[in-house]
Amino acid sequence: MLFKLAKSFFDNILIMSKLLEITYQIEDIASVARQILERVSSKTLLFYGDMGVGKTTLIKSLVKAIGSHDDVSSPTFSIVNEYATKAASIYHFDLYRIQDEEEALNFGFEDYLYTSNWVFIEWPENAKNLLPEDANSIEIFHKNTTSRSLKLSQNTILTQENAIEQHKI
């Protein structure tokens, strides 16, 4: 019975695993975009950071690195922009202006999430209960006026097996 309880406990825990932590200058952004794309485990990327920290600037580099030649701009007023590649679409959301998750549901937000396309979401905290569990998170911080720090993480479901593996000495 105790094993069943422990197994049930571990089946429901999500932990964040760090995939990349880097400090960069704006002139290094193309290289940073490539490093991110080499490490992501999901095509849904959640962008966290203060206003003006460079979320859209990084997304511009990611879109280019994926292979789109479209002009990238912040979808602050349109809420979503679509960029084309030869193979698929990239959806870029800016949820800063939505009032609640119901508003996101009303414009069909969840229809974009469960496709094989890339989905980039700025201000994901405004729809946190609608986001896929396997999304990767990118946090960007101001280091100083010319550099930023970035942390790329993924959600990992904690199981009994990987919990034991993580704590081996």
pLDDT tens sequence across 108-161:
999 999 899 999 999 999 999 999 989 999 999 999 888 999 999 987 655 555
The span from the CA of 143 to the CA of 24, in Å, is 9
User: How crowded is residue 127: how many other Cβ atoms within 10 Å of its Cβ?
Assistant: 22
Residue 64 in this model has a pLDDT that exceeds 60: yes
- Joined together, the tokens standing for residue 102 give 């119901």
Residue 58 in this model has a pLDDT that exceeds 80: yes
Report yes or no: 101 and 124 within 8 Å, Cβ to Cβ.
Answer: no
Residue 1 in this model has a pLDDT that exceeds 60: no
In terms of DSSP bridges, do strands 89-94 and 13-25 run parallel, antiparallel, or are they unpaired? Answer: unpaired
What Rg do the C-alpha atoms of the chain give, in angstroms? 17
Domains and CATH numbers, the chain: 13-166 (3.40.50.300)
- Compute φ and ψ for 44, nearest 5 degrees: -105, 115
- Confidence bin at 18 (pLDDT 50/70/90): confident
The span from the CA of 7 to the CA of 100, in Å, is 35
Helices 29-39, 55-66: crossing angle, 10 deg rounding? 70
Smallest Cα–Cα separation from 94: which of 140, 59, 142?
59
pTM of the model: 0.82
- Confidence bin at 6 (pLDDT 50/70/90): very low
User: How crowded is residue 151: how many other Cβ atoms within 10 Å of its Cβ?
Assistant: 16
